[in-house]
Amino acid sequence: MKRVAVIGFGFMGIMHSRQLLAIDGVELVAIIEKDVASVARKLNEQLGNLSLGEGDNGALLKIPVYPSLADCLNEQQLDAVHVCVHTELHYPLVKEALNNNLHVLVEKPFVLDVEKGEELIALAAEKKCVLMVAHVVRFMSPYQKLLNFIEAQEYGALKFLSLTRFSGVPQWGQWLEKQKNFGVSGGALFDLVIHDIDFAAFAVGIPSEISDKTILPGKLSRHDYVSATWRYPGPGLVVRVEGGNVFHATFPFRAEYTAVFEQASVSFSSADGENIYISGNTEQATIPANDLGDGYFNEIQFFYAALQKGSLPSKYSPESALENIRLCYRHAE
């Protein structure tokens, strides 16, 4: 039985905590939140773009809460931590956890400083700890089905892929505070659009060229809207990535993809989250998309399966997550 603590109790910390209650072989033994008194209140707040779903708040309220990892380790023996705090705290908290020989699942984006990411990867290797960055879109059913279509070439070769992700400027949790500290979060490029940057790189590889770039500032950074075209050697595949949160706060969250294969076009939108549409020249079919929220459970289950094996597959390595940070900077250039 792996003994686990969740660090940070905003939207992501609550989401991780609820999933952990349902993972076999794992026991959530601590929540680490500097504002200890806020834990009960946050369970009833709107804290993110997706619904937190139904959860056992009663069970979570029984979990001991500590103001720091050090305080927790004074009383609890841990095997792993989930780091679910704002980006600027990822580096010090991941480093502290690894120095205490703990396995780490850290929310995306990994870090904004590439050299610090390299340092953490080296430290994880030295400590023989599993370090994984939580790029949840890889584990969401509609995107997993798209990946299967790409790899199996069920509809022929992929010719064009468009990935979009939009939201209003976030107003929940500490995001209003981040507006006062412009740029510290990485803005929409590193916090929102990175989902699609990661999925595209995961599914079809690193582009040789990123062109046709448009970048607009917003309330969080100078790159809160991004659009760009990815190109690969030789004729054929083109990828288009677009997203941002420059919109007003009540603008509805929307994530979409359109994939054009040789024999069909495949599309999905979170606005119609139940269906994936497969469009040919004479007819259109639908297949179930399943629940986007299941991605969090799938991702966490994958992490603990990797702990059992002692390592991650290379496509899920922290090096792959750090490559996403480099890709983000290529978009911002």
Domain holding 173: CATH number?
3.30.360.10
- Alpha-carbon torsion 20, 5, 45, 140, what sign? negative
Measured CA to CA, the distance from residue 89 to residue 212 in angstroms comes to 33
Render pLDDT for 36-64 as a digit per residue (tens, 0 to 9). 888 878 787 655 555 455 566 888 989 99
Residue whose pair of structure tokens reads 């297949």 in the numeric block: 287
Cβ atoms within 10 A of the Cβ of 243, count?
25
Going through the chain in order, the beta strands assigned E by DSSP cover: 2-7, 26-32, 65-66, 80-83, 103-107, 131-134, 158-168, 209-216, 225-231, 238-247, 254-261, 265-269, 275-279, 284-288
Structural domain boundaries, residue 60: 2-134
- Of 134, 161, 180, which closes a domain? 134
157 lies in the same domain as 172: yes
The pLDDT of 128-136, averaged and rounded, is 98
pLDDT at residue 53, rounded to an integer: 53
Confidence (pTM): 0.93
| Percentage above 90 pLDDT, the chain | 83
pLDDT at 35: 87
- Do residues 25 and 125 share a domain? yes
d(CA 172, CA 103): 29
- The string of pLDDT tens digits covering residues 94-108 is 999 999 999 999 999
CATH number of residue 31's parent domain:
3.40.50.720
Pairing of strands 275-279, 284-288: antiparallel
pLDDT confidence of residue 42: 79
Residue 316 lies in a domain: no
One domain for residues 195 and 257: yes
Q: Do 143 and 92 reside in the same domain of the chain?
A: no
Give the Cα-Cα-Cα angle 81, 13, 166 (nearest 5 degrees).
125
Residue 235 reports pLDDT greater than 90: no
Q: Using the 3D structure, point to which of 75, 106, 134 is the last residue of a domain.
A: 134
Nearest to 304 by CA among 104, 31, 161, 144: 104
Q: Note the pLDDT of residue 57.
A: 81
- Average confidence (pLDDT) over 103-118: 98
Residues 281, 149 within the same domain? yes
Same domain, 107 and 206: no
User: 186 and 77, same structural domain?
Assistant: no
The whole-number pLDDT of residue 43 equals: 80
- The pLDDT value given to residue 181: 62
Domain count, the chain: 2
Are residues 272 and 143 located together in one domain of the fold? yes
Task: Flag whether 265 is in a domain.
Answer: yes
CA–CA separation, 104 and 102 (whole Å): 6
